[in-house]
Amino acid sequence: MDVTFLGTGSAMPAGDRSQTGILLEDDGRRLLVDCGSGVLNRLSQTDPGYEGISSVLLTHHHLDHVADLLPLLKARWLAGETHLEVVGPAGTKALVDDLIDVFDYLDGRVDLQIREVGPHEFSVAGFDIEGYETRHSTPCLAYRFGDAFGFSGDTEAFEGLATFADGVAVFAHDCSFPDDVDVSNHPTPSQLGDAFAGTEIGRLYLTHLYPHTEGRHDEMVASVRERFDGDVRVASDLTTLRIE
């Protein structure tokens, strides 16, 4: 499986970081997880491009995870593509329906299929996926793709999610702020390290980075490593991982 971080930023602009988006590719199958602002442009910098992405899986409905969803639909329509599947937690259909109501000229331009999922096993675009409910200010799901890859979505760090991620080769986790920021709904590095201590994860990537983290990535990684005995790295836009 190839995993490309398209966007590793947050709701506040951070220079070279787009908002959240991750591209998964495996044996001809492709899936976009989240579609925040800037992700469409990042997709255009990949081999599949936006033309090659017909399925989107949303973790939740905050703007920095869905802002490029309709721009993706429009770009695919203009490129002659005829289909788009959008999958996400409860409320996804209402979200997309409401967006189409506002931008009604896009209604019917592509075959738009919407499906809602929950904290259980399901499949999208040929990928077998397990969902897990996270702790955020709005309903949000973490996703695990077998033993290869997992993504936390937006969430506080907690033991149940660490157990869900245990044994995966690569896990990308929200780590929005450094330790001296008092925050809820997102973890600091020490909170993340405490929650994931003792888990067997091949590599842990920190993502969903607010501007507050700029210049402090090394100390954030060190803080996680004080508690979590594993490989910890900071995710960057357009970094591609090959997971065997």
Q: What is the structure's pLDDT at 15?
A: 82
The Cα-based distances of 156 to 133, 138, 144 in angstroms read 11, 12, 17
CA distance 39 to 69: 9
Rounded mean pLDDT, 101-129 = 98
Alpha helices in 84-188 (DSSP H): 92-102, 159-165
Q: What is the structure's pLDDT at 132?
A: 98
CA distance 137 to 75: 31
| CB distance 12 to 210 below 8 Å | yes
Fill in the DSSP letter of residue 178.
-
Q: What is the structure's pLDDT at 156?
A: 97
Q: Bridge partners of 145?
A: 149
CA distance 203 to 214: 21
- State the greatest distance between any 2 C-alpha atoms of the chain, in Å, as a whole number: 53
Rounded mean pLDDT, 88-114 = 98
Rounded mean pLDDT, 27-46 = 98
pLDDT classification of 14: cutoffs 50, 70, 90: confident
Q: What is the structure's pLDDT at 159?
A: 97
Q: What is the structure's pLDDT at 77?
A: 98
Q: Tokens 């780590």 belong to which residue?
A: 175
The 10s digit of each residue's pLDDT in 53-83 is 999 999 999 999 999 999 999 999 999 999 9
Rounded mean pLDDT, 214-232 = 97
What percent of the chain shows pLDDT beyond 90?
98
The 10s digit of each residue's pLDDT in 149-189 is 999 999 999 999 999 999 999 999 999 999 999 999 999 99
Distance linking the first and last C-alpha atoms of the chain: 6
Fill in the DSSP letter of residue 66.
H
Cβ-Cβ contacts under 8 Å for 191 (sequence gap 6 or more): 156, 157
pTM over 0.85: yes
Rounded mean pLDDT, 38-51 = 98
Considering only residues 32 and 15, tell me which one the structure prediction assigns the higher pLDDT: 32
Rounded mean pLDDT, 20-39 = 98
Active site residue ranges:
64
Q: What is the structure's pLDDT at 174?
A: 98
Angle between helices 92-102 and 69-78 (to 10 degrees): 60
Rounded mean pLDDT, 198-208 = 97
Sheet holding 141-145, edge to edge: 121-124, 127-133, 141-145, 149-151, 170-174, 203-207, 231-234
Q: What is the structure's pLDDT at 147?
A: 98
The 10s digit of each residue's pLDDT in 186-196 is 999 999 999 99
Q: What is the structure's pLDDT at 41?
A: 98
**3-state SS, residue 35:** coil
CA distance 156 to 171: 15
